[in-house]
Amino acid sequence: MISVTDLTRKFGAKAALSGVSFSVGAKEIYAYLGPNGAGKTTTIRILTSLTRRDGGMVRLNSFDIEKNPLEAKSQFGLVPQQTNLDSDLSVEENLLIHGLLHHMDRKTIRRKIEELLDYMELSDRRQSLIKTLSGGLKRRLLISRALLHSPRILFMDEPTVGLDPAIRRSIWGFIKKIRNDGATIFLTTHYIEEAEFLADHVAFLDAGKIVAEDSPANLVSGIGQWAVDYLDDNRLQTAFFNSREKAGSYVLNRANGCTVRRVNLEDAFIAMTGRKIS
């Protein structure tokens, strides 16, 4: 559904993307992880035709975004990092305008609005003004708006940023449901547990390059299953082990206090790059 080959983009002398290539299959959740400035948002902006690329090729459901721009744009919906709903309009009015901008007929728009308000549990807020909604409800509406024209691909740039843990997990449920109903999802996030829970495949992006790509389980297993965090000369260090028993033996041989935990994706990223994702 998404095919990217040798994607490059510079801003002045700085290379934001340097030969990035990846592909995302149908009905797949693909998490694109990296620290601030790695090139995540630049990638989404290029894939959604908001920023021009300097080189490379992008196809969305086989449509080249430059040679077939209208067909390519019809394939996706976008959930941006920042809320860009019209605060002076109601929930229903925001969806209606989006449908009209996509040249949908009013009968289809009305049907889709009913389906999505029910799907995202917003039916009781259809007449509410945007400025009266909580952050979690706004996120649900952003996702509803992106799905209104029945896209095959959904781009989600930090979809749960700023939400409390309970609301974030409810959004995860909706994301899983959207994938199960047939959409391909391209996701950026700083929340490691979000990527681990949602993603079928993960790409680590650092300084404009993909440094690793695999399933979350395979990326984690590459460095071990258990981690021991400990202080060494007042600096936090981490050792990795393939079994809980070996981790426990390591703890017994250390004088300082230690914490034993499961290895996560951020551990794998740090091991490869020396930098944190969040």
Whether residue 153 contacts residue 58, with contact meaning beta carbons closer than 8 Å, is answered with no
Taking each helix axis as running N to C, give the angle between helix 135-147 and helix 91-101, from 0 to 180 degrees, rounded to the nearest 10. Answer: 30
Mean pLDDT of all residues in 121-148: 93
Mean pLDDT of all residues in 34-51: 92
Reported pTM: 0.89
Band of pLDDT at residue 146, cut at 50, 70 and 90? very high
Band of pLDDT at residue 258, cut at 50, 70 and 90? confident
Band of pLDDT at residue 278, cut at 50, 70 and 90? low
What are the pLDDT digits (tens) for 72-129?
999 999 999 888 999 999 999 999 999 999 999 999 999 999 999 998 889 999 999 9
CB within 8 Å of 197: residues ≥ 6 apart: 172
What are the pLDDT digits (tens) for 219-256?
998 899 999 998 887 888 899 999 999 998 888 877 67
